């Protein structure tokens, strides 16, 4: 099953990347995520591994994931190593509007067993997972744009003092 969501954020890609590439921030903006902990020597970058769990219905699903693509300011992708079969991707792209970045979050997952029960479980979970992705992007937008406003206000204060 593939689900995804996208949102426009009024911030440069690097400001958004500071959130997306920092696993310590995930529990602050990722909806439905109950665990996102570093289990490798490197906290971020290619090869970084995380134990992640997402609340779907009455279950927590997830497992061990590894970053398989890491292009700073643009793309971060992971795939499962152990647990539910999944692939996820963050995609950041500048838009034609000045200072606005398009952020996409995609997740593909499969339930063990390709029989009818696996197919049903994937479809039943999809609306919840899609909702988690949408809320995650909304919370990311809110946090990044708030940080941009705080930085601009601090710069204005510093300019007045000088």
Residue 16: closest CA among 98, 104, 79: 104
Average pLDDT score over residue span 129-152: 94
Residue 97, Cβ neighbours under 10 Å: how many? 10
Could you read off the pLDDT of 50-60 as tens digits, one per residue? 999 998 878 88
What is the extent of the structural domain holding 157? 2-161
How many structural domains does the chain have? 1
Domain containing residue 50: CATH number = 3.30.530.20
Name beta bridge partners: 42: none
Q: What is the DSSP string of 9-30?
A: ESS-HHHHHHHHT-GGGHHHH-
| Conformation bin of residue 93: beta by default, left when phi > 0, alpha when psi is -120 to 50 | beta
124 Cβ contact partners less than 8 Å away, ≥ 6 residues apart:
57
pTM: 0.88
Could you read off the pLDDT of 83-140 as tens digits, one per residue? 888 999 999 999 999 999 999 999 998 876 666 666 666 667 778 889 999 999 999 9
C-alpha 53: how far from its chain's center? 13
117 Cβ contact partners less than 8 Å away, ≥ 6 residues apart:
111
């Amino acid at each position: 099953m593939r689900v995804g969501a996208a949102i426009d954020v009024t911030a440069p890609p690097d400001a958004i990347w500071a959130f997306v590439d920092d696993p310590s921030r995930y529990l602050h903006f990722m909806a439905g995520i109950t665990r996102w902990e570093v289990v490798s020597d490197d906290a971020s970058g290619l090869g970084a591994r995380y134990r992640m769990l997402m609340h779907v219905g009455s279950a927590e699903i997830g497992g061990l994931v590894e970053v398989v693509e890491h292009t700073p300011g643009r793309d971060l992708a992971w795939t499962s190593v152990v647990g539910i079969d999944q692939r996820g991707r963050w995609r950041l792209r500048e838009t034609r509007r000045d200072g606005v970045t398009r952020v996409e979050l995609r997740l593909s997952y499969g339930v063990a067993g390709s029989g009818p029960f696996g197919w049903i479980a994937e479809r039943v979970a999809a609306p919840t997972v899609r909702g988690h992705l949408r809320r995650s992007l909304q919370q990311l937008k809110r946090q990044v744009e708030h940080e941009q406003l705080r930085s601009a206000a601090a710069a204005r204060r510093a300019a007045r003092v000088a």
